[in-house]
Structure 1
Amino acid sequence: MPNITTDAFDAWFASPKDMRAVTRTQVRIDRAENGKFGDRSPVGEGVSEMRIHYGPGYRVYFVLRRIELVV
């Protein structure tokens, strides 16, 4: 499943303050591309979040559109 990212996500991903957080986030997105979302929860209007239990806790918000993952 291909993914599309937002400008805000791209900016955060391009200048990380915590490389481990970025790596864990990328692993979660890679798994989601294969249909393995793990710990996730709907937050409303078609948007869901994947929770990453690391450091202060990170969230990846996404929408599924047909065969695309929008992060």
Structure 2
Amino acid sequence: ISLPHYSVAQYYTGSPISAGELRPGDLVFWSSSSSPEGIHHVALYMGNGMIVHAPRPGQPVAVESMYYWIPPTHFSRP
């Protein structure tokens, strides 16, 4: 799978899905608004509510609950 660098573009490259449709390998997004244009973070869904992501520049990749911070707003299948 080839994905663009920016998270908004990654969302539009995939097929939008609901949280209930998530499968391992899907993408989970956080937006500052209800619009995909506000997406500012993306993670890879691992299953059982868990994600793998790079929390911030300079921090190691982490495995966490997808609700570790605020609930995600958008989901897509690459």
- Output the TM-score relative to the length of structure 2: 0.26
Structure with the largest fraction of helix: 1
